[in-house]
Amino acid sequence: MIPNPKIKNSLVALALIILPAIFVITGLNFHRACYSGDPEYAYLLNGINIANLKPVGHTDNPGTTVQMYSALALRVSHFLDFSKKTDLQTDVLSDPDRFVEMERRVSVIFNGLMLLVVGLASLFFLKNCWFSLLLQVTPFLSSNLLEHAWTKVSPEPVLIFTAGIFSIALIAYYLSKNRQNRWYPWIFALISGFGLATKATFLPLAIIPFIMIDGWKRRWIYAAAIIPAFILFTIPAIPQYPHMAKWFLGLSTHTGTYGQGSVGIINPVKYVLDFIAILSNNKALSVALFIGLAFLFAIFLQGDLRGAIRKNIELKFVVAILSAQVLGILMVAKHYHADHYLIPEVSLIGTAFVFILLYVKKNFSAEKFRILPNIPVVLFALLLGGSLLHVPYLRAANQGYVSANEEYRNVMQQIDKAYPGYVKAYYYPVSINPYSALRWGSVYSRQYNLPVLRTLYPGAVFYDARTHVFQLWETEIPVEDLVSEFGGNILLIGGPMTPEEKQNVMAGGLALKTIYSGRTQVFYEIDTANSAMFKGLTVAAPLWTVRCNADTLSADKQFFVENGKQWSSADIRSGEITRSGSGSVKLTKDNIYAMEYLIDSVRPGQRYKFSAWRKGTHDQTFLVATSPEKGGFYKQSDNYFHVDDKGWEQVILNITIPDDFKGTVLKLYIWNNSGKTVYLDDFAITRKN
């Protein structure tokens, strides 16, 4: 009986839907850690930047394509929300994790669709269902790949998508009747530029077209075309190119992770150990590499390997893919500390197997070797069986995310119920909560979203363990101000600390009493009575205070005068908008400095507080303290501390004269770096000790 072609085609199509459907359904039902700032919130807030036509602030990956995806997803989501009552920025920042989850789900669906497209495109080109299934089963060979694809808004899911496009392009090029077509170098350059704009770990894959493309002229066209392609996909990051270059230079010239460690290319001992660890921790990639290299070695033993490659383009593809995978391992071994850096190489395992099988099919007769038609079937069955080994880990990981989210909710409920009136200080940067996540994203998006964050979350207090200071968003709060403004009962909330991290906090002057310690959440009560940072603290009257409300001028009208003290810039006095009295200081794009005041005879250890009230449309107006001596001290304010009922923002700069302060004069002044008009009033300088 001759099988019905329509039924056969339907069964093939059904077979190619199964794995993508499993990928999507499982991915959509997989959980993620809510409020995980790194890296999700950096991409979320940079997505807001791009959606509002602002430059990005995070280019370390570079990750620009992820930020562009985020911007598009946010714009579409906001457009389709017909119940919206606020602008996009306020809408997203009011409920940020909802939008992170939306972006995660869309990413899962897109990668599932790409998996289906890869299968169908392979079937169209190669006319072999088993080859398509080999390509589709590849993502399931790595639990690390699946976990990132299902739980992260990061470069890795985009790289999986890019690897799918890359595989289709390679197969299309393989079957092309005109590989000399001038468009191929540009097509591969666009894919490589997109991949490199997503993450530098795509770099090893960029070598594949360089090996595959015929003719040195076309190869160099491809290599050169990557540059404009990269620029195209990193347009929002162009202002950050100098930082990006510095970052990658540091990575390449230091032996440690993230450009740390000693100067050098590699640490030989650590490099060898990391290389071995990579092979041990990435078994699917290691086994695939071993099979591929053994296959090439077997051909080498038969005679002229170069001649075989010239006669069989399939071997050229195998050599190119294996070269990229080996290069990827060698590159990651330099700074190895996580397996997701190898996701691009893992994503090409199935592609390498397909070209090996194409060579076997071309050079060996099925009539002579009856087992040949069954090799793809057996190989697929083995890979599918191997992928099932990851099920226990993925179940445990999913349950871990569920438990982490439940723990966060329970801890917050416990704090709200048992500790009303306490100041909640969030341990930064290692914490899983919305405040720390939003601050992480704000820091890595050039603070463009900070004014809205301050409005939505005015009481977000942080303890930065790196600098041992309390902050209201980016504004430092001396402990005496913290106590006077918020009270002396303080909780420190965050993730579990290592013994070294906890020791660092204690060395910074805090004594901690553990109230709760769980798997992902910990909170302490700060024992202020026994904390060196708070010891001897009294909210006492300052030694002296100098004020100016910009009302009274000197006889020559060159200075503001109050209680016999002179402040500069009386010529830019304005009566248009005032907070008190009849005058204020008006700074514009043409007049950017004002209110210079000099303090003589300063000494190390002295503490001063410089404050002013600001009103304008931009937060880039700073209070500055500096030493007039060349190469001396410099410090500027971070942002405002209070907002009054008229919309004036109080900007505060706390200054401690350091031991290496040059000279004996402290110069204070205002700097308007916004390019816009800003008004300032009610200035005050206080000496605290």
DSSP 591-651: --EEEEEEE-S--TT-EEEEEEEEEES-S-EEEEEE-SSTT--EEE--SEEEE-TTSPEEE
Q: How far apart are CA 364 and CA 410, in angstroms?
A: 64
More confident residue, 101 or 421: 101
Q: What is the pLDDT of residue 536?
A: 67
pLDDT above 80: residue 619: no
pLDDT band at 366 (very low <50, low <70, confident <90, very high): low
Assign residue 147 a region (left: φ > 0; alpha: ψ between -120 and 50; beta: otherwise). Answer: alpha
Q: Domain limits of the chain?
A: 5-389, 404-530, 544-687
More confident residue, 140 or 660: 140
More confident residue, 241 or 689: 241
pTM of the model: 0.88
Q: Give which of 13, 132, 125, 171 is closest to 377, Cα–Cα.
A: 132
Asked whether 532 and 548 are in contact (CB, 8 A), the reply is no
Q: Give which of 65, 295, 278, 79 is closest to 157, Cα–Cα.
A: 65
pLDDT in tens, 453-499: 988 998 899 999 888 999 998 888 888 888 877 788 999 999 888 88
User: Mean pLDDT, to the nearest integer, of 417-425?
Assistant: 93
Q: How far apart are CA 82 and CA 97, in angstroms?
A: 20
Q: How far apart are CA 648 and CA 669, in angstroms?
A: 19
- What is the 8-class DSSP label of residue 533? T
Asked whether 578 and 625 are in contact (CB, 8 A), the reply is no
Average pLDDT, the chain: 91
Q: Give which of 564, 605, 565 is closest to 688, Cα–Cα.
A: 605
Asked whether 436 and 426 are in contact (CB, 8 A), the reply is yes
Element (H, E) at 411: helix 391-418
User: Mean pLDDT, to the nearest integer, of 629-634?
Assistant: 85
Query: What does residue 540 show for φ and ψ, rounded to 5 degrees?
Result: -100, 170
Percent of the chain's residues with pLDDT above 70: 97
Q: How far apart are CA 585 and CA 240, in angstroms?
A: 33
Strand partners, 634: 626
Neighbouring CB atoms inside 10 A of 9's CB total: 12
pLDDT above 70: residue 204: yes
pLDDT above 50: residue 51: yes
Q: What is the pLDDT of residue 97?
A: 96
Percent of the chain's residues with pLDDT above 90: 69
Q: What is the pLDDT of residue 632?
A: 80
pLDDT above 50: residue 2: no
pLDDT in tens, 267-300: 999 999 999 999 999 999 999 999 999 999 999 9
pLDDT band at 538 (very low <50, low <70, confident <90, very high): low
Asked whether 40 and 434 are in contact (CB, 8 A), the reply is no
More confident residue, 259 or 92: 92
User: Mean pLDDT, to the nearest integer, of 191-216?
Assistant: 96
User: Mean pLDDT, to the nearest integer, of 213-242?
Assistant: 95
pLDDT band at 334 (very low <50, low <70, confident <90, very high): very high
pLDDT in tens, 137-163: 999 999 999 999 999 999 999 999 999
What's the 3-state SS for 460-483?
CEEEECCCCEEEECCEEECHHHHH
Q: Choose the weakest-confidence range: 27-41, 66-80, 526-540.
A: 526-540
The verdict on domain 544-687 having CATH code 2.40.50.100 is no
Assign residue 688 a region (left: φ > 0; alpha: ψ between -120 and 50; beta: otherwise). Answer: alpha
Q: What is the pLDDT of residue 1?
A: 42
- What's at 521, amino acid-wise? Q
Assign residue 684 a region (left: φ > 0; alpha: ψ between -120 and 50; beta: otherwise). Answer: beta
User: Mean pLDDT, to the nearest integer, of 348-367?
Assistant: 89
